[in-house]
Structure 1
């Protein structure tokens, strides 16, 4: 049994969980909590960075960073499933993953600014830069929402997780300006039951 060290609200963990379900591997993974603020020694031995997600393989080897973990899971499932083999489709999926990960990175910086800095120390220009990154990326996606394939690729999964995280942490403020993406996410949720099952409580 593999072990996934996680935090329930992490969108990067959610990406791994959805991919695992899509690939039919969820029943081979035990999920264990990990405290990234005050990580215990055992977790730091698994991942010196103290970050999630971290996947512990059955032989004790650890993999970390959601992109690496998903690539391993796709390989374990036979390859070419959530990471297409055909070059055009593969690099389109990887590009969408990178754009969606960028949205998540900016959103997390906004969350951390509010969580870890006292109000007098918060820098509005820094927050504005992160909001601008998110807005520009969403505008690109709104202009041309990505196709949805029978088996969702890693780009589609990551975009769904990014939009879900904006709902969770930024009160869904994005929805009023990006109706085509709202419709896209509704379609994804209807087609991929794992999206609802992995929603943070």
Structure 2
């Protein structure tokens, strides 16, 4: 199998971490979707990464679909519960984490891609408001628990860890670590795992 993606995409990182935690191998083929010469459209018509290419050539996307598929490939380190209610809870955590990145990316694009005179501060504030609300919800739901759900690491923790790491990379002045000490505790614990260490994005 082959993962098409970039080193800085938090969605790609989530997929790579799941592969590592499941003890499965997949080559990483780097692709810059913002490059005019990108060929990602021939694999994913939405033009997004990650995209997983299976051994038979079939393409699977997006990250939520990929990680759910990969979790079925090996019984090692089950990351998504099979029981429906627990499964929904873990996937809701993932949706919340992905939502942080979705909103953050929209805010960042507005501030970096559009000329200053065309930028909408109201739009940026709206997106960052979503980030703040999601962080607050995460902190409330985590409470004093060791993990987001249950007594061991799940996909919920991986997704949250990727979102928090991306915020540190792209919004270093947000200071969520000071405001939400329990989230920082979870983040620091995750960053000790080899899967997170091996996928640290370049500081760019």
Deviation at 1:41, TM superposition (A): 6.7
TM-score, normalisation: structure 2 = 0.89
* Residues 88-167 of structure 1: pairs in structure 2 closer than 5 A: 88-145=85-142, 147-148=146-147, 152-167=153-168
Instruction: Choose 98-107 or 33-42, whichever is displaced more.
Output: 33-42
Deviation at 1:87, TM superposition (A): 2.3
Q: 1:97 to 1:112 in 2, by over 3 A?
A: same
The whole-number CA distance in structure 2 between the counterparts of 1:39 and 1:74 is 34
Q: How many residues are paired up?
A: 197
TM-score, normalisation: structure 1 = 0.90
State the match for 1:35 in structure 2. 32
The whole-number CA distance in structure 2 between the counterparts of 1:99 and 1:165 is 14
2:194 corresponds to 1:193: yes
Q: 1:42 to 1:125 in 2, by over 3 A?
A: closer
State the match for 1:59 in structure 2. 56
3-state DSSP class of the match of 1:5? strand
The whole-number CA distance in structure 1 between the counterparts of 2:32 and 2:38 is 11
| Kept after mapping to 1: 8 A contact 2:4/2:29 | yes
Q: Tell me the C-alpha RMSD between the 2 structures.
A: 1.9
State the match for 1:68 in structure 2. 65
3-state DSSP class of the match of 1:81? coil
Deviation at 1:59, TM superposition (A): 0.5
Q: 1:30 to 1:80 in 2, by over 3 A?
A: closer
Task: Please list every run of 5 or more consecutive structure 2 residues that lacks an aligned counterpart in the other structure.
Answer: none
State the match for 1:85 in structure 2. 82
3-state DSSP class of the match of 2:15? helix
Q: 1:12 to 1:85 in 2, by over 3 A?
A: same
